[in-house]
């Protein structure tokens, strides 16, 4: 049980909402969201379970809080710069945050009320797109598209059993059995995914580039090729 001992020695840091939430993130990172219980969190912080309730109303508030903490780790785009590189930076940063904290992805579905970091993040992103000349409607389209891609990619990455090393041997044997039933899955696995240099994570920037380039076509004032998105 190599649980992280957050505090070093004698002088006990007093509890705080901050420490509770950061502790919760640490526990979830270490053992998944299932390992985050009021008891395990209390133990992590060196206190008894009921002490947590002085700082948070209940577990639900902790879940809301740590989702917002994850959002706070994402680089905010700045409205000044080139929108494309700003969006790329934001996307890469968001995906990294969600890879560090995969449990956050599933939480976002169930948690309804956004925290301040979440709101700030959305506001900065919208502001960057609007500032770049996207109409309100186009901004909505672009944002929905980008965030769908980011979250969806993170979701897939989290569910994929592909630790580049772990799986290679295990999967190969299993795949052999299904070769005739799932020929294309088998082809993809043996000819591509199980190849030496393959890393699913590399797909992220590829797809992101496709999306950003496609969005470029729809921005006003840039007479590109056929506009894929007609402002409605």
Partner DNA sequence: CACGCTACAGTACTAAGTACGAAAGCGCTA
Partner DNA sequence: TAGCGCTTTCGTACTTAGTACTGTAGCGTG
Of 47, 67, 189, 208, which lies in the binding site for DNA, with binding defined by CB under 7 A?
47
What span, in angstroms and rounded, lies between the C-alpha atoms of 185 and 156?
Answer: 16
100 binds DNA (CB under 7 A): no
Query: Can you list the alpha helix ranges (DSSP code H) found in the chain?
Result: 17-31, 38-45, 59-72, 83-100, 103-110, 116-131, 136-159, 166-178, 183-188, 203-216
Picked from DNA, its own copies, none, the partner binding residue 48 (CB below 5 to 8 A depending on kind) is: DNA
CB atoms within 10 A of CB 23: 25
Q: How far is the CB of 1 from DNA (least distance, A)?
A: 13
Picked from DNA, its own copies, none, the partner binding residue 136 (CB below 5 to 8 A depending on kind) is: its own copies
Binding mask of the shown chain, residues 6 to 45, with x at each position contacting DNA by CB under 7 A? --------xx--------------------xxxxx-x---
Sole residue written with tokens 């809301």: 64
Listed residue (68, 61, 19, 67) closest to 44, CA to CA: 19
- Which tokens go with 84? 């494309």
Picked from its own copies, DNA, none, the partner binding residue 171 (CB below 5 to 8 A depending on kind) is: none
Instruction: State the maximum Cα–Cα separation within the chain, in Å, rounded to a whole number.
Output: 67
Picked from its own copies, DNA, none, the partner binding residue 231 (CB below 5 to 8 A depending on kind) is: none
Listed residue (73, 85, 90, 78) closest to 22, CA to CA: 73
Q: Give, in degrees to the nearest 5, the angle at Cα 117 between 116 and 121.
A: 115
CB under 8 A: which stretch of 13-21, 22-30, 47-55, 209-217 binds its own copies? 209-217
Choose between 38 and 47: whose C-beta lies nearer to its own copies: 38
Q: Give the interface with its own copies as residue ranges (CB under 8 A).
A: 32-34, 102-103, 105-113, 119-120, 122-124, 126-127, 130, 136-137, 139-141, 144-145, 147-153, 155-156, 158-159, 161, 178, 181-185, 187-188, 191-193, 200, 203, 206-207, 209-211, 213-215, 225, 228-229
């Amino acid at each position: 049980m190599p649980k992280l001992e957050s505090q070093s020695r004698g002088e006990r840091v007093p509890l705080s909402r901050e420490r509770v939430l950061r502790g919760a993130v640490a526990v979830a990172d270490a053992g998944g969201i299932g390992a985050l219980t009021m008891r395990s969190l209390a133990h992590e912080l060196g206190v008894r379970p009921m002490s947590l309730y002085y700082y948070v109303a209940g577990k639900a508030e902790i879940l809301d809080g740590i989702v917002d903490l994850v959002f706070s780790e994402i680089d905010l785009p700045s409205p000044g710069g080139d929108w494309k590189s700003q969006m790329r930076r934001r996307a890469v940063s968001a995906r990294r945050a969600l890879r560090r904290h995969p449990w956050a992805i599933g939480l976002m579905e169930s948690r309804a009320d956004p925290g301040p970091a979440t709101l700030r993040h959305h506001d900065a992103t919208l502001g960057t797109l609007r500032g770049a000349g996207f109409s309100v409607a186009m901004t909505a389209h672009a944002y929905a598209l980008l965030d769908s891609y980011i979250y969806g990619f993170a979701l897939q990455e989290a569910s994929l059993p592909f630790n580049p090393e772990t799986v290679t041997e295990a999967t190969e044997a299993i795949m052999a059995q299904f070769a005739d039933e799932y020929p294309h899955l088998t082809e993809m696995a043996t000819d591509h995914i199980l190849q030496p240099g393959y890393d699913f994570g590399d797909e992220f920037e590829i797809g992101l580039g496709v999306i950003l380039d496609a969005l470029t076509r729809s921005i006003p004032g840039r007479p590109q090729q056929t506009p894929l998105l007609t402002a409605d």
